[in-house]
Structure 1
Amino acid sequence: MRLTHLIFLLYFFSLFNCKQTNLGLTKIEGKQIQITDTLPIDSKIESYIKPFRDHIQKDLDSVLAYSPNSYSKSNGSFNTAIGNFMADAIYSEANPVFKSRTGKDIDMVLLNLGGIRSILPKGNITKRTAYKIMPFENSIVVVALKGNQVDSLVNYLCRVKRAHPIAKLKLTINENDKIVEAKIKGKDIELDKVYYVATNDYLYSGGDNMSFFKPNDSLYVLNYKVRNALIDNFKKVDTINPVIDDRFIQIK
């Protein structure tokens, strides 16, 4: 009996001692650590990343072209030199890619003025220049639009009266903001024709209230970033000298 009693007590105490205690979170404490240049540098980390940083800096600062003047998106009412350069560069670089895949040509280009984030500076033009002008990861897409949708595109440009970069489209409005002339590659816009419009994925998705891209006949994703097209164009030219022209003007 004593042995049985002892075994029972041992079993009871083992169950009691093995009982799990429910724990709960009662308080969270923390502090903000400012990330500034006053923080001590870890020499091991610094020595590890230095070769990579030096390689990237050298690549970004490699000279690709030269600009005799500085160009800003604020210099111009309906079209700007830097915007014209960007739209023309996109056409020049994207059209061969599009044609190789579809057998068709891009009819026009439309970008957004707000996408130009820096000036095109006077002096040497580098990859870093392209990253400053276009820091976003926007890619080029080509949208197949019917003529009536292109009319909506033209009406949008007339309504907002901003120097959104365009190429291969010529647009003239009068003092009352009415369309005097609208041509693509020198020809009147035909309502029943399909036009292939190059733009970026942000605008295709409705950015800057450009709702006229949807619905559409087809969408072609080129997997080609706007920034990379600029870099490729920089490499092809010796001197960049864009101008404000008559692609979008208002007559009085």
Structure 2
Amino acid sequence: MTKLKHFGYLKIKHFVIFLTTLLFVSCRQNLKTLSKIEGKQVEIDSTYGVTDSIAEFILPYHKRVEEVLDSTLAYASWDITKTDGTYNTSAGNLMADIILEQAAPIFKSRTGTDLDFVLLNHGGIRSSISEGKVSARTAFEVMPFENNISIVELKGTSVKEMLSYLIQSKRAHPVAGIQLVLNTDDSIKSLTIKGEPFDENKNYYVATSDYLVSGGDDMVFFKDALEVTDIDYKIRSAMIDFFTKVDTLSPKVDLRYYKVQ
């Protein structure tokens, strides 16, 4: 009797194995593979209506995002623009000063190295800041791009190329941490970095955007970088963090970059 029980158990076990194998083979035979992808452009126009159920689902999230974007973070004492100066502007000075203040401690904590100065591009500022309240939405309007802050180590010779670029471009590219004074013939009268005379034999650490590091705006001198450090910090995020911790924005056109008369 015991042998019969074991025989019955073995029959069931073999049947289960057979059935499992059959199902496995069957599933393998029914596997489908992607052979072609097709797409077409669908123009969205006024003929497409709003789907009420989706609109109702999104509405509370939309309202919350709008509230966050429009919450007042600081106050601008006057209109801040990138057109109110020849060699430096109130908007450019604000942007460069923000990067210097916000990026320097992060770079220092991660590398033990001090940040020397900042260089951005005039065209990267996409909006003025009107007198009155300043919000997170302001930062998105001024800097709509997803650019990160990069710290670039440059030889003194590359910094000299940067200066030539600034002078020849005749645009108020934002800088901070340096003072560049030109003679009437556009030759350099003086250059100080962090209050010290420029040393061509020294390496300098400059904060800029990852867009410019890649050669944007023809800033080809960045290709000679000895090292590039991405601190994973968006320029726009730095702006919002700065707005959050200050009460009033009062940047002016100053003497960080100018020509003697």
TM range (shorter): 0.7 to 0.9
Displaced runs of 4 or more, over 3 A: 30-34
Residue 190 (structure 2) pairs with residue 181 (structure 1): yes
* Deviations 1:105-147 (CA, angstroms, capped at 9, x unpaired): 1100000010000001111100000000000001000000111
Find the aligned partners of 1:173 and 1:35 in 2 and give their Cα distance.
54
Change in Cα spacing, 1:221 to 1:47, as seen in structure 2 (3 Å) is same
Contact 1:79 1:248 in 2 (8 A): yes
Alignment match, 1:208: 217
**Number of residues of Structure 1 aligned to a counterpart in Structure 2:** 222
Contact 1:154 1:182 in 2 (8 A): no
Q: 2:67 aligns with which of 58, 67, 87?
A: 58
Alignment match, 2:107: 98
Residue 241 (structure 2) pairs with residue 224 (structure 1): no
Find the aligned partners of 2:63 and 2:157 in 1 and give their Cα distance.
52
> Alpha-carbon deviation of 1:32?
6.4
> Alpha-carbon deviation of 1:218?
1.1
Change in Cα spacing, 1:44 to 1:92, as seen in structure 2 (3 Å) is same
> Alpha-carbon deviation of 1:39?
3.6
Contact 2:147 2:234 in 1 (8 A): yes
Q: 1:74 aligns with which of 71, 76, 83?
A: 83
TM-score (norm 1): 0.85
Residue 50 (structure 2) pairs with residue 35 (structure 1): no
Find the aligned partners of 1:139 and 1:105 in 2 and give their Cα distance.
19
Find the aligned partners of 2:151 and 2:41 in 1 and give their Cα distance.
49
Identity of aligned residues (%): 45
Find the aligned partners of 1:116 and 1:31 in 2 and give their Cα distance.
33
Residue 247 (structure 2) pairs with residue 238 (structure 1): yes
Contact 1:106 1:197 in 2 (8 A): yes
Find the aligned partners of 2:170 and 2:196 in 1 and give their Cα distance.
22
Find the aligned partners of 1:100 and 1:129 in 2 and give their Cα distance.
29
Map residues 62-141 of structure 1 onto 2, 5 A cutoff: 62-141=71-150
Change in Cα spacing, 1:179 to 1:31, as seen in structure 2 (3 Å) is closer
The secondary structure found in structure 1 opposite 2:190 is strand
TM-score (norm 2): 0.82
The secondary structure found in structure 2 opposite 1:48 is helix
- Stretches of structure 1 that go unaligned for 5 or more consecutive residues are 1-29
Find the aligned partners of 1:216 and 1:191 in 2 and give their Cα distance.
15
Contact 2:158 2:224 in 1 (8 A): no
Map residues 123-202 of structure 1 onto 2, 5 A cutoff: 123-202=132-211
RMSD: 1.4
Change in Cα spacing, 1:105 to 1:31, as seen in structure 2 (3 Å) is closer
Find the aligned partners of 2:160 and 2:49 in 1 and give their Cα distance.
60
Contact 1:144 1:218 in 2 (8 A): yes
Find the aligned partners of 2:49 and 2:184 in 1 and give their Cα distance.
62
> Alpha-carbon deviation of 1:31?
9.3
Contact 2:136 2:240 in 1 (8 A): yes
- Stretches of structure 2 that go unaligned for 5 or more consecutive residues are 1-39
Find the aligned partners of 1:33 and 1:171 in 2 and give their Cα distance.
52
> Alpha-carbon deviation of 1:35?
2.3
